[in-house]
Amino acid sequence: MSDRPFLSLRRIHKSFGAFVALRDIDLDIAQGELVCFLGPSGCGKTTLLRIIAGLEVQTHGSVEQAGRDISRLPPADRDYGIVFQSYALFPNLSVADNVGYGLVNRRLPAAQIRQRVQELIALVGLPGSDAKFPSQLSGGQQQRIALARALAMQPGLLLLDEPLSALDALERVRLRQEIRSLQQQLGVTTIMVTHDQEEALSMADRIVVMNHGVIEQVGTPLEIYREPASSFVADFVGKVNVLPGHVEAGVLRLAQLNLAQVGAAQGRSGEVKVYLRPEDILVRTASSGAPQVDARIVKIEFLGAFCHVQVDAPQISDKPLVVDLSLNFLSEQGLREGSDLVLTLMPERIKIY
For residue 348, what is the domain's CATH number?
2.40.50.100
Sheet holding 251-254, edge to edge: 257-259, 251-254, 241-248, 270-276, 351-352
Could you list the mean pLDDT of each consecutive 10-residue stretch along the chain, which spans 353 residues?
Answer: 84 96 97 97 96 97 97 96 92 95 87 94 94 95 95 96 91 93 96 96 98 98 96 95 92 90 83 93 71 94 93 95 94 94 89 91
Interatomic CA distance for residues 149 and 39, integer angstroms: 27
CB of 217 closer than 8 Å to CB of 230: yes
333 and 198 within one domain: no
Distance CA 191, CA 6 (A): 12
98 shares a domain with 246: no
Residues 100 and 198 in one domain: yes
| CA dihedral for 340, 345, 351, 353, sign (positive or negative) | positive
CATH number at residue 204: 3.40.50.300
Answer yes or no: do 170 and 287 share one domain. no
How many structural domains are present in the chain? 2
Domain boundary, last residue among 204, 234, 264: 234
Cα dihedral 266→270→274→280 (10° resolution): 40
pTM, two decimals, is 0.92
Distance (Å, whole) CA 178 – CA 164: 12
Residue ending a domain, choose from 185, 204, 234: 234
Same domain for 23 and 171, yes or no, is: yes
pLDDT, position 1: 47
- Residue 267 shares a structural domain with residue 226: no
301 and 230 share a domain?
A: no
Q: Are residues 11 and 125 part of one domain?
A: yes
- Show the domain range for 343: 239-352
- Show which of 234, 260, 279 is a domain's final residue: 234
For residues 329 and 226, state if they share a domain.
Answer: no
* Contact (Cβ atoms closer than 8 angstroms) between residue 318 and residue 303: no
Indicate if 183 and 267 belong to the same structural domain: no
Shared-domain flag, residues 93 and 10: yes
pLDDT digits (tens, 9 = 90+) for 251-265: 899 999 888 878 888
With beta carbons less than 8 A apart as the criterion, state whether 201 and 237 touch. yes
Q: Within this chain, do residues 211 and 253 fall inside the same structural domain, yes or no?
A: no
